[in-house]
Amino acid sequence: MASFLILPSKSINQFKLTDDQINSIKAVDVHGHYGACNRPAMPDFYNRALTGDAARVAERARRAGIEWTVVSPLSALFPRGQAHAPTGNDDAAAIVPQTPGLRQWVVINPLQPETYRQAETMLAQPWCVGIKIHPEEHLYPIREHGRAIFEFAARHRAVVLTHSGEGNSLPLDFVPFADDFPAVTLILAHLSFGPNSDVTHQVRAIQKGRQGNIYTDTSSSMSMISGVIEWAVGEIGPEKVLFGTDTPLYSAAAQRHRIDLAEIPAAARKMILSDNARRILTLN
């Protein structure tokens, strides 16, 4: 079990920022979506509440001080095992460049080979920053398909953002591929999400990797737990943590404010909210 940093209350004051200092950081959200949430097992209310078109996602981000949100279409992921990712990719390629504040992840589903052909084309576009994979929604184990995905990503020197933390996508299962393909930058989404309430999965994978090319993002409800962000920064350093919200499934504003008020140094906060993503994704 993780050992969290507990600060005496008087020490917390060293991390306080003024409103001007907070608002000066134009964040980059590396893990967003847009479109309709379509999970048949969920009540209709939740599917409606977790839905947001591209314009709404962009406006919510703007209000939260987020300059760029990198999105994949929910239609490429849901319903589980039934989504047609190629249609979602085409939709994103049309909508993202017309929506200020958005950038695109092209979704690769190895069970739908057409997505590789799409990625060949879309990765060459200035609004497409990398590849999104989701072994859970697409129902394949990364252990069986990871090599083909990473070989493709390496040829294009592409960043890969992946869902992580469940049976098909356990963080440690990605490490051999990241080690074998050092040209690929891997972002293990959902810091501290994993089975058996073990919050260490993504952090342990980063620590185990030999190439220094594995990162995590904060797009998990687990990151809202007191101490989790602070613990991760202490374990792997702020340079390995990127800001992500999973918008519109989660509130972008709430996720942003969690980092704004995290009990970490100001330089670490800026790295997480902005600097790391701008470097990795070559955003201005």
- What is the predicted pLDDT for the residue at 4? 65
Q: Render pLDDT for 10-69 as a digit per residue (tens, 0 to 9).
A: 566 677 667 666 678 999 999 999 999 999 999 999 999 999 999 999 999 999 999 999
29: containing domain: 24-280
Q: What is the CATH number of the domain that holds 202?
A: 3.20.20.140
Question: What is the C-alpha separation between 279 and 284, in angstroms, rounded?
Answer: 9
Q: Is residue 64 part of a domain?
A: yes
Cα separation of 143 and 167, whole Å?
10
Give per-residue pLDDT as tens, 201-249.
999 999 999 999 999 999 999 999 999 999 999 999 999 999 999 999 9
Report yes or no on 148 lying in a domain.
yes
Residue 15 belongs to a domain:
no
Is residue 5 in a domain? no
Burial class, 114, CB count within 10 angstroms (exposed 0-12 / middle 13-18 / buried 19+): middle
- Kindly state whether residue 45 falls inside one of the protein's structural domains: yes
pLDDT of residue 6: 55
In a domain, 16, yes or no: no
Q: What is the pLDDT of residues 156-196, one digit of tens each?
A: 999 999 999 999 999 999 999 999 999 999 999 999 999 98
Domain count, the chain: 1
On whether residue 11 sits in a domain, the answer given is no
- Would 2 be classed as within a structural domain? no
